[in-house]
Structure 1
């Protein structure tokens, strides 16, 4: 809270000053961001702290460290910055602009194989929309309200979330072309296997391997399917990988058909309370159009 005794009225230049110093960390970097000289920034910070009656930054060898108040003001400044940018874009485009920040979570394999190509197609049309991305394998992000939208590979999405199924995702045993040439790929049990570790105990590929190759002990265990894919591409062994990570130019060679009865579904999910936010609804609908998988 601000010191009420000062009665100082913050304005946008004050917020821009704090944001620049938080982002830059030093007077020199803040001055470059604001396009003024270092002495101007120094005097402006001292003047603002005096007006507020509170310290905003602690000087250290590492630079200027923001206090909790400065961090809060910087967050508010970022929102003001986004609102101003949305207004500018709206004037330029002559219409309503979708703005704000949407937090999205997905696995690293979904990010690499599905989400990035989709974002490249439609996000340039939403210049005032900010997207915060995080990768994880669980649903806790939405439950804890750490995210607004999730893309998940599952047959049983949590009942407290709402969303839509975008289609089926199949898995195939794959190898690099070099590994396939050097080994007898007809006998899968004799190959070096790369598999999810205990962080993904119920993964469809784990269930398939336990059923069809119960004697196989993986040579490599990974906590993500993207890591498993990279090990396969490096020629270290074989793995059952999702079909969206395969295809021309990926350096992976399927060794057989899709694993029957062990596919999964791609779900686009959000919290019920997020359906009132235009930014979330807009991104949700765009993802639904661009990520639909063949069933």
Structure 2
């Protein structure tokens, strides 16, 4: 639910107090927000000195506060090691709650400053590294400054199961047939062309594809359209380089190490990538923007989904 100003602050306070009350019921200690801030600072800093700087207090104050809190709770929150202070599972869970509280307070402040409702919360988004680099980052730069209270957690993966396992809220995927249990939007056709770097082309003729040094996806992407095309059109070719990432393949081509079939959104002649022919006919795919049906009730997810639909472009 989207809440503004003091109403947002009230909802946040009720939420965090409910958590604290449940926790207090089992420990008989009244955990409060300064306690959570202390734990979060030490988890983030990893040492007393860095936590002290984050809290703007001296090191001895942090040390005494942690010892006092552990004694009150009757269990350790951190383990001292040569690398610093390592949080226990309890400290990690409390730090996550503190981080949510911090985000909620920031959203409340922004709502007051802007005099209205704000889109806030955390949205988890997954895509491939090539889509992230070439398409997603430019899109985010266009609209994310308009949502200062919205937090994104980005991960790169080729796995649809991220959404199915609820590890992510939104996915950007290259596919012709997205899973039926997801809802989404087809953002457009993606074609592939064989490309070479300018330095590689200077060393030989681009006429005979079979005689060239090939760079290709490895077994991590066995059904990739470019793999199917190469097996059909150049069955005798054995790639000299294999990668589990189309972005890495693109960089090898740019470095002049060989040729590869690349998606159109990664092909930029200004950056030394030269197409050697027309798009591979019959081996195109599509970029899909996908989410789970239950996420359509979340204002933060719907907002990001709609903005991506408007801002993702490559032609």
Pick aligned residue for 1:22 from 29, 43, 49: 43
- What is residue 183 of structure 1 aligned with on the other side? 204
Query: What pairs up with 1:234-245 in 2 under 5 angstroms?
Result: 234-245=255-266
Shift of residue 235, structure 1, vs aligned partner: 0.3
Asked if the contact 1:107–1:136 (Cα under 8 Å) also holds between the matched residues in 2, the reply is yes
- What is residue 234 of structure 2 aligned with on the other side? 213
Shift of residue 57, structure 1, vs aligned partner: 1.4
Shift in CA distance, 270/5, structure 1 to aligned 2, threshold 3 Å: closer
Q: Is 1:275 aligned to residue 301 of structure 2?
A: no
Shift in CA distance, 5/165, structure 1 to aligned 2, threshold 3 Å: closer
- What is residue 147 of structure 2 aligned with on the other side? 126
Asked if the contact 1:169–1:266 (Cα under 8 Å) also holds between the matched residues in 2, the reply is yes
RMSD: 1.4
Counterparts of 1:132 and 1:6 in 2: how far apart (Å)?
32
Asked if the contact 2:135–2:314 (Cα under 8 Å) also holds between the matched residues in 1, the reply is no
Shift of residue 60, structure 1, vs aligned partner: 2.1
Counterparts of 1:128 and 1:167 in 2: how far apart (Å)?
30
Pick aligned residue for 1:152 from 156, 173, 177: 173
Q: Which ranges in structure 1 are unaligned for 5 or more consecutive residues?
A: none
- What is residue 138 of structure 1 aligned with on the other side? 159
Q: Which ranges in structure 2 are unaligned for 5 or more consecutive residues?
A: 1-21
Pick aligned residue for 1:97 from 118, 131, 140: 118
Counterparts of 1:251 and 1:293 in 2: how far apart (Å)?
18
Shift of residue 121, structure 1, vs aligned partner: 0.7
Pick aligned residue for 1:88 from 109, 129, 138: 109
- What is residue 59 of structure 1 aligned with on the other side? 80
Q: Secondary structure at the match of 2:193?
A: strand
Counterparts of 2:267 and 2:114 in 1: how far apart (Å)?
39
| Deviation per residue, 1:261-284 (Å, 9 max, x gap) | 111000000111111111111111
Asked if the contact 2:123–2:152 (Cα under 8 Å) also holds between the matched residues in 1, the reply is yes
Q: Secondary structure at the match of 1:59?
A: strand
Shift of residue 59, structure 1, vs aligned partner: 1.9
- What is residue 201 of structure 1 aligned with on the other side? 222
TM-score normalised per structure 2: 0.90
TM-score normalised per structure 1: 0.96
| Deviation per residue, 1:8-51 (Å, 9 max, x gap) | 22221111100000111111010011111001111111222222
> Which one is further off, 44-53 or 207-216?
44-53
Q: Secondary structure at the match of 2:270?
A: coil
Shift in CA distance, 248/120, structure 1 to aligned 2, threshold 3 Å: farther
